[in-house]
Amino acid sequence: MLPVFYSDEFLDHDTGFYHPENAGRLQAVTAALQAAPWANRLDWRLPTPIDVNAIRLMNAVYAVHPQRYVAAIEQLAKQGGGNIDADTPVSPRTYDVALLAVNAWLDAVDRVLASDAPAFVLSRPPGHHAVPQIGMGFCIFSNAAIAAEYALRQPGIDRVGILDWDVHHGNGTQAVVEDNPQIAFCSLHEFPHYPGTGDAAERGMYNNVLNLPMRAGGSIADYQPPFEQKVLPFLQSFQPDLLIVSAGYDANKADPLARMSLQPEDFGTFTRYALQITRRTVFGLEGGYDHTALARSIVATIDQCLEQVDE
């Protein structure tokens, strides 16, 4: 069985019908997973319910985001919503849903550490563009970075790796972790492209950041050499006790927000690379805006995870 952390409440983050990061993304994915030949091997798990007094949740969030920012999102939602920036709307339920998404990532960390096997977080809003002081680029809270910081507080966890294969650079994640020698961050992303960060010269305070800018139009043939010659050596030499994957699927050729040429099945290859680093891997959804390509890509990821579970 493969744990999939999901709640219908994730659909309640209302970005508007025409916004690329809309609820239809998760609806397409859940339908595809329920129709997959191995659907009965998915262990659908609800995230831990939100309780603003819960020490685990709020300590994890405050370890990354200032309390004033978190309070500002709560107040904006209570007032009926608004916009952090032109791309990042807040609806009346966004604050609660974003906290529930954080809980899903934390729950997945707990599960992976207990089972020594992968898990998938099917949540929204995404998180890898959210810098500590403010959200941006569709993102509210920095889910992957929060999960990494949380993992380091668990017994026996000294090093956490983060692999970000979203087509956009995870500037928020990098901003959180680049000065932490216990976290290694690696990103492959279209460059130049939004948000304009992720130059190869950005190495982190402890040489713990590896940015691999990719030219527009790249196919799996362009991605495999960097994975094999740079990503794997970098993360394997770091020897993480846990790997967190910011699993964005917007490098698909069909995706409207990028200019890469990957096919959905190529993300199965990415998944195999990740699981070569460690079976203790949390895959968490970031981008991916063509619903069909997104759903097929996540099917490819989970298919490879199930193969690893069988071994």
Q: How far apart are CA 9 and CA 188, in angstroms?
A: 30
Close Cβ partners of 247 (under 8 Å, ≥ 6 residues apart): 120, 165, 166, 267, 283, 284, 285, 286, 298, 301
**CA-to-CA separations, 138 to 8, 169, 252, 297, in angstroms, rounded:** 19, 13, 19, 20
Cβ atoms of residues 183 and 152 within 8 Å = yes
Buried b (16+ CB within 10 A) or exposed e, 40-55: eebebbebbebeeeee
Q: Check residue 41 and report its DSSP letter.
A: G
Cβ atoms of residues 135 and 70 within 8 Å = no
Q: How far apart are CA 301 and CA 288, in angstroms?
A: 13
Indicate if 168 belongs to the active site: no
Question: Token digits for 291?
Answer: 């619903």
List 65, 129, 169, 189, catalytic entry: 129
- Of all helices (H) and strands (E), which one includes residue 179? none
Q: How far apart are CA 81 and CA 95, in angstroms?
A: 10
Q: How far apart are CA 293 and CA 250, in angstroms?
A: 9
End-to-end distance of the chain based on CA atoms, in angstroms? 13
Active centre residues (catalytic)? 129
